[in-house]
A and B are shown apart, each in its own frame.
Chain A
Amino acid sequence: TQLLEQSPQFLSIQEGENLTVYCNSSSVFSSLQWYRQEPGEGPVLLVTVVTGGEVKKLKRLTFQFGDARKDSSLHITAAQPGDTGLYLCAGVLDSSYKLIFGSGTRLLVRP
């Protein structure tokens, strides 16, 4: 059983559409991170959220940390082909240091 459940697992959309990826858990995290990974590369950190209810924006990407620090979402506005990749959420449990990863959401943005 995955500690962090990501949905959807796969998403194929047309350029210009909006999308949301979800990351859910029954556990409380002291921080949660989102990474993007391209083929043949390691994950690259997009954002870290640490406060319940926190919202961070990175250009067309909006990240939200749930009030109870158990879930997070990533919203992309007007998706572009360059957004294509594997999006991974990862969390650090309270009183821990290990980063636990979700299974990822594979996004394909068609031109």
Chain B
Amino acid sequence: GAGVSQSPSNKVTEKGKDVELRCDPISGHTALYWYRQSLGQGLEFLIYFQGNSAPDKSGLPSDRFSAERTGGSVSTLTIQRTQQEDSAVYLCASSLVRSGYGYTFGSGTRLTVV
């Protein structure tokens, strides 16, 4: 597609439930990143995928968080047993190869845990 697509745009879930967030990167972009943004703040790195290489998971805050990227394209971020502190906007970005020249971000998924 023309841009990075994320779904759902909004998700409200009960504490303790699992959620899945989806990201469709720009076609041909081999690098994919997930970031988390708390209200009005900067972005916190979560995980990075590059082609078929092992992902860099160093930013995942706990073992309740996991992510997959199937076929080098679509990615799913899963949060198990959600907690209220997981509430944030989850942003996905993609770029050509690994890029110091700018990422294209999706509009994000706003997750609210009640």
Contacts and interface: CB of A to CB of B under 8 A. Distances in A.
A42 B108 CA distance: 6
Nearest to A29: B100
A44 B31 CA distance: 17
Contacts, number: 62
Given A40-B107, A97-B48, A98-B48, A48 B101 contact: yes
B105 interface: yes
Q: Is the interface of A mostly helix, strand, loop or mixed?
A: strand
Interface stretch (A14-22, A52-60, A102-110): A102-110
A88 B101 contact: no
Contact of B93 (A42, A92, A104): A42
Interface string B41-60: 11111001010000010010
Nearest to B108: A42
Interface residues of B, number: 27
A99 B33 CA distance: 9
A86 interface: yes
10 contacts: A31-B101, A33-B102, A42-B91, A45-B103, A50-B100, A99-B33, A99-B100, A100-B45, A101-B42, A102-B42
Interface of B: 4, 31, 33, 35, 40-45, 48, 50, 56, 59, 91, 93, 98-108
